[in-house]
Structure 1
Amino acid sequence: MKPSTVAEQITATALESTLDLESSPPIQSCSRPAAGSVAETFVVALETSSDENRQVPAVPERVVCKLGGASVWTGEVIEPLVLEWVSKSSSLPVPAVIVTGSVDIDEDQGLARNDRWALYEFRRGQNAGKIYHCLASDDRRQLVARAGTLLGRLHSLSERDPQFAFDRVGGLARDSDSGALELTELECWHALDPPTGLRSALPVPLAGDDGCRPVLTHGDFQPSNLLVTPTGEITAILDWGNAHVTHAEYALARAEVRFVDLHTRRFSRAERERLRTAFRRGYAARATLSSNFDERALSYKLLWALQSGANYTRIARSARGRQQLWRQCQRLLGGDTTATP
């Protein structure tokens, strides 16, 4: 059984139960988005009734079905819990969670046994990663400033909501009893808690230091995980599967790499500095930003490079991890991403 077929069956059955329908909603198509996450992600288009006199619950035109997508930090599927948590506590543009569950599938069918799934609200908008380099300079800077503001709003939750006031960095996992999110020790090497020798050589606050402010962060905040309108409004922040708790300035530096520093071939140094300024100003408009951040940013970016290398090495050790990495490479290279019923 192909994962796309599994996604269709899950969508039809879950919506029938959730919306209290008499029968499963007919499915028109099931396709993978061109830019995806480590989860098996499908956009499922549904047939909706045009009869306004029928007294039946409204069926959405599209939903997003995700299968799996374990966090690189804890090995658990946490995205639905994170999205529910963030949406209840903020007005950040995140997809609503419709329903979640789990399905038993053998590994040789493409999914792990007892793999978790979730149906999400379909958010309209164009993937910002696809148009990022094509935007006019002013439009790009405006988009980057808005992205910085959203990241600042997320990090500022720790300053105004006690449930986001963490006392340490760590991963997020499901509590075995309640099923709610809990802060856990990280299962892999983390840049903010390096070995003693490296730690003493770094002139920046690290885990446990007075200057380290732990915050909930997205985990992969970059243009490809944003949806935007033609006017540049951000309609959704996608792919929260690797959300975790880390140092606010480290998370900001890591995001700045994705929005600014990785684009040396596309943008001039002057343009990168303008983007950097826009991103930081947007962030500082909503969250605390130390006056020393400019001095610390490079150290945090180097730590991120070390952490990324360690994580990719660990992921590549398993067959499932190699499959995920290969799928990401195919999508980056523009491979075929569609799947029809």
Structure 2
Amino acid sequence: MTGDVLERIVEAALETELRSSRRPAAGSVADTVLLDLADEPTQAVCKRGGRNVWTGDVIEPLVLELVGSETDLPVPAVLASGSLEGRSLERDSAGGLDRWALYEFLPGENPGLRYRGLEPTVRRRLVREAGELLGRLHATPSLAFDHVGGLARDGATLRLCEPNGWHAIDLQPAIERLPVPLAGDPDCRPVLTHGDYQPSNLLTAATGEITGVLDWGNAHVTHAEYALARAEARFVDLHAAHFDRGERDHLRNAFRTGYTRHARVDPGIDRRLPIYKLLWIAQSGANYGRIVRDARGRRQLWRQCRRLLE
């Protein structure tokens, strides 16, 4: 994002002056910049693009406004959002509009790159609280739906699209056909979920307390149990090469203990979660396949890889 575009956005939306800007050490596929401003607020975050992988729409500002109004989760407030058109701007290939949003700057550090090296007690606190926040999101009655699907813009509101994509597969019929020991009573409540819930999309204090949940651009509606399985994989299973079995058991127990403070888990979940996690692996491969087909997506994935190498 060029400096003149940032200056135009800040001046028009916040009526203040942009003093400096920098990219975060880690970030999403969206074009994200940290801003230092002349007046209050003295800091903000600007994002441009960040299309939802399922619907192609930029939905994060609308999702954050919804989550911010319906829950007490620590999510950044939306300061302003809009779109810019012009020959000098890189255009969104899906719609010809270059969408942007300004968000509240939240305190804290991104634990993604240092997650494996955290003091075990700090990491377990982080994971327990992460589970609790996800449980609070899934247990919010106003964020429950009658079927799964993607989210798209409908003017200034969100609409639920018909199931289209791996995340929207209705798992209940498939699970009902499994052998009885695996079937149990799966939790197939359709709920709003984050879509990419992992340590690198959090901000934390030094003690492990979560101060922010970021990057809601791939939010969608799916079954609560499937969302729980995917999140547990990101916080526990993907780190099997670095944590011994005892530590993984501690983390898994911490995550579920936090989750079940607010949301339920049904009998047989231990047998079903491995199935959900295999489905998630296939889903992730499909997601990256979509991203790398887009030139902008390839550039931003390469930017993330370079940051990781650094």
TM-score, normalised via structure 2 length: 0.90
Distance 2:64 2:70 in 1: 10
The answer as to 2:126 corresponding to 1:143 is yes
**Paired letter, 1:268:** D
Q: 1:125 aligns with which of 108, 111, 114?
A: 108
Residue of structure 2 in register with 1:55 after alignment: none
Q: Deviations over 1:118-177 (max 9, x none)?
A: 1110001011213312221111111100000000000001xx33xx221111001112xx
1:285–1:210 distance in 2 versus 1, CA, 3 Å: closer
- Structure 2: any 5+ residue segments left out of the alignment? none
**Paired letter, 2:293:** R
| Shift of residue 193, structure 1, vs aligned partner | 4.2
**Paired letter, 2:102:** L
Distance 1:308 1:179 in 2: 29
Residue of structure 2 in register with 1:77 after alignment: 58
Contact 2:187–2:223 (8 Å) recurs in 1: no
Residue of structure 2 in register with 1:222 after alignment: 198
Residue of structure 1 in register with 2:99 after alignment: 116
Residue of structure 2 in register with 1:283 after alignment: 259
Residue of structure 2 in register with 1:322 after alignment: 298
Contact 2:19–2:36 (8 Å) recurs in 1: yes
Distance 1:291 1:8 in 2: 54
Distance 2:111 2:220 in 1: 23
Contact 1:254–1:301 (8 Å) recurs in 2: yes
Please say which structure displays the higher CA radius of gyration. 1
**Paired letter, 1:308:** S
Q: Trace 1:199-210 onto structure 2 (pairs within 5 A).
A: none
Distance 1:151 1:202 in 2: 29
| Shift of residue 34, structure 1, vs aligned partner | 1.1
Contact 2:163–2:169 (8 Å) recurs in 1: no
Runs of 4+ in 1 over 6 A off after TM superposition: 196-199, 201-205
Contact 2:90–2:98 (8 Å) recurs in 1: no
Residue of structure 2 in register with 1:263 after alignment: 239
Contact 2:74–2:213 (8 Å) recurs in 1: yes
Distance 1:272 1:135 in 2: 14
Distance 2:202 2:191 in 1: 20
1:186–1:70 distance in 2 versus 1, CA, 3 Å: farther
1:316–1:201 distance in 2 versus 1, CA, 3 Å: farther
Distance 1:131 1:257 in 2: 17
Contact 1:150–1:283 (8 Å) recurs in 2: yes
Distance 2:125 2:163 in 1: 35
Distance 1:60 1:66 in 2: 16
Distance 1:298 1:189 in 2: 16
Contact 2:149–2:160 (8 Å) recurs in 1: yes
| Shift of residue 261, structure 1, vs aligned partner | 0.7
Distance 2:202 2:134 in 1: 12
Return 209-218 or 95-104, whichever deviates more.
209-218
The answer as to 2:271 corresponding to 1:295 is yes
The answer as to 2:8 corresponding to 1:9 is yes
Distance 2:255 2:187 in 1: 22
Residue of structure 1 in register with 2:148 after alignment: 169
Q: Deviations over 1:201-228 (max 9, x none)?
A: 69878xxx98411110000100111101
Q: Deviations over 1:267-315 (max 9, x none)?
A: 1111011100100111011111112211111000000001111222222
Residue of structure 1 in register with 2:209 after alignment: 233
RMSD in angstroms over aligned alpha carbons?
A: 2.4
Distance 1:198 1:234 in 2: 34
1:259–1:248 distance in 2 versus 1, CA, 3 Å: same
- Structure 1: any 5+ residue segments left out of the alignment? 17-24, 49-58, 335-341
Distance 2:174 2:226 in 1: 19
Contact 1:74–1:186 (8 Å) recurs in 2: no
Contact 2:139–2:262 (8 Å) recurs in 1: yes
1:199–1:28 distance in 2 versus 1, CA, 3 Å: farther
| Shift of residue 110, structure 1, vs aligned partner | 4.0
SS in 2 for 1:127: coil
Q: Deviations over 1:218-240 (max 9, x none)?
A: 00100111101122221110000
Distance 1:117 1:202 in 2: 49
Contact 1:154–1:216 (8 Å) recurs in 2: yes
Contact 2:10–2:17 (8 Å) recurs in 1: no
**Paired letter, 1:9:** R
SS in 1 for 2:114: helix
SS in 2 for 1:129: coil
| Shift of residue 46, structure 1, vs aligned partner | 1.1
Q: Percent identity?
A: 57
Distance 2:255 2:36 in 1: 35
SS in 2 for 1:85: helix
Distance 2:187 2:213 in 1: 28
| Shift of residue 9, structure 1, vs aligned partner | 2.3
